[in-house]
Chains A and B, each alone.
Chain A
Amino acid sequence: MWTWLHKLGSPKIFYNLANRLIPWFGWGALLLMLYGLYGGLVQAPADYQQGDSFRIMYIHVPAAWMSLFIYMVIAFCSAVYLIWKITLADIIARASAPIGASFTFLALVTGSLWGKPMWGTYWIWDARLTSELLLLFIYLGYMGLGSAIEDRRVAARACALLAIVCVVIIPIIHYSVTWWNTLHQGSSVSVMNQSSIDKSMLVPLLVMAFAFKFYYVAVVLVRARTDLLFQERKTNWVRKVLVNG
C-alpha cells in the first residue's frame, strides 16, 4: 500500500490521475446537484413550522458541512506535510483553502438570510455563529499567510502550522450548540442516532451533501493540477504537457 501511496505523491502520476478524475467528479457533481435541488425545492413538503423558508437548508447545511470537512482535509494534509514533507500535501491544502472559505461564506450568508424570517434577526453573537465566522477568518488568514511569504517552502511550513494550531475550532463549532446556550438549534442529522428530520426532507439534503463533496474534489483537482504544473515547470514531463496541450 505504501508503494501505491508513494506513487501517488509522484507529480506526473498525480497530474494524469487528476486529468482523468476531474470530468467524472465535475459532471457527477452537476447531476447530483440538479437531483438534490429538484428534491429540495420541488418534491420535499414545506415544514410544519418554517414553511418554505426551510428550503434554504439545502444550501446552508451542506455548505456548513463542507466548511468543516475541507478544513479537516487541510489540517490532515498539513500534518502529512510537516511530518513527511510531501509537497503534494501542501499543494492540495493550499488549493482547498479558497473552496473552504467560499463554503464558509456561503453557510454564513444563507444562514443569515434564513435567520431573519425565522428568528427575527440576521445575526447574533452566539457560540455557533461566532465560531463559524471565526473559521472564515482562519481560512482567510491561512490564504493571506501563504501569499505573503515569498519562499514556497517557508510559506508551506507556516501555513501547515497555522492550520494545525487552529484545528481546535472544528470541534468547537460542532459542539457549540451542546456546550453553550445558543440561538442556533441543535443538530438535526446524526450518524449514530435517529435524525430529527423527516425522510422526505432528509434525502435531498444528503444528495446535496454528496453533490458538494464531488464538486470539491473536481475543483480542488483543477487548482492543484495548475499549481503542480507550475511547481514542476522545469521538468521534462511538464514540457511535454505544454507542447501537447
Chain B
Amino acid sequence: MGEFFHMGGYAFYVWLSYGVAAVVLIANVFIPLVRDRQVKRELAMKMVRDNELNQESIS
C-alpha cells in the first residue's frame, strides 16, 4: 500500500497531477450545475413578476 502512494519516488509529481485533475474535473461539473439552478430560479421569478404585472394592468 505504501508503495502505491510512494510511486517509485515520484509521489509528489504523480499525486499533485491527479489532484489538479480532480479539482478541474469536479469544478467543471459543479459550476454549470449551480448556474443551471440559478438561471432557472431567476427566470421563474421573472415569470412570476411578469404575471403579476399583467394581472395589474388587466384589473
- The chain A residues found within 8 Å of chain B, CB to CB, are 26, 41-42, 46, 51-53, 55-56, 59-60, 63, 98-99, 102, 105-106, 109-110, 113-114, 116-117, 215, 219, 222-223, 225-226, 229-230, 233, 238-239, 242-243, 245
Contacts and interface: CB of A to CB of B under 8 A. Distances in A.
Interface of B: 4, 7-10, 13-14, 16-18, 20-21, 24-25, 27-29, 32-33, 35-36, 39-40, 43-44, 46-47
Given A51-B8, A53-B14, A106 B20 contact: yes
A46 B35 CA distance: 42
A110 B20 contact: yes
A60 B28 contact: no
B42 to A, nearest CB: 9
B47 A242 contact: yes
Nearest to A103: B24
Given A53-B13, A117-B13, A226-B39, A219 B24 contact: no
Nearest to B27: A102
B40 A242 contact: yes
B7 A52 contact: yes
Query: Mostly helix, strand, loop or mixed at chain A's interface?
Result: helix
B36 to A, nearest CB: 4
Contacts of B9: 51-52
Contacts of B4: 41-42
B47 A56 contact: no
B13 A56 contact: yes
